[in-house]
């Protein structure tokens, strides 16, 4: 059974909030980080999240919904950036997995979320792999 447009709007708004928070976390981590390699990883992910958020907002409007306001999440000071960022990305990845597994989405929403999930999973995997390969915690 396909979800109603009202339910899809609610699901998209929930994911939009998480994607925006993720992007802000990447941006803040890039700005606060002292390691150029980490900054070069975080900045493109922040840009990618802004793009995903714009796509989700467009789909919300197409469905007749109103995108939620951008919420900011607190990001810790310069302690263990990789731990913090990896944890945020793992939560975001699980949110997308739950929504996709639940099914019932219309084809346009499913295509949008599947495409977004690929980027979210790649970002999480990259940060997780960097975290476990790094001899020093950031």
What pLDDT digit, counting tens, does each position of 69-99 carry? Answer: 744 444 444 446 677 778 888 899 999 999 9
Q: Which of 66, 71, 68, 53 is nearest to 113 (CA)?
A: 53
CATH 1.20.1260.10 applies to domain 5-133: yes
The tokens describing 38, both together, are: 């980490």
Phi, psi angle pair for 105, to nearest 5°: -90, 150
The tokens describing 37, both together, are: 């390699």
What pLDDT digit, counting tens, does each position of 2-37 carry? Answer: 568 888 999 999 999 999 988 998 888 888 876 788
DSSP 8-state class, residue 64 = T
């Amino acid at each position: 059974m396909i979800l109603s447009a009202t339910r899809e709007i609610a699901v998209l708004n929930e994911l939009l909030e998480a994607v925006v928070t993720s992007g802000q976390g990447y941006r803040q981590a890039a700005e606060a980080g002292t390691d150029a390699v980490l900054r070069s990883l975080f900045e493109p992910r922040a840009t990618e999240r802004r793009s995903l958020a714009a796509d989700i907002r467009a789909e919300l409007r197409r469905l007749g919904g109103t995108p939620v306001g951008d919420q900011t999440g607190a990001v810790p000071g310069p302690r263990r950036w990789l731990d913090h960022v990896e944890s945020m990305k793992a939560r975001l990845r699980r949110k997308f997995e739950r929504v996709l597994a639940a099914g019932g989405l219309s084809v346009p929403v499913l295509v949008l979320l599947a495409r977004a999930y690929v980027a979210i999973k790649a970002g999480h995997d990259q940060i997780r792999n960097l975290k476990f390969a790094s001899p020093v915690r950031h």
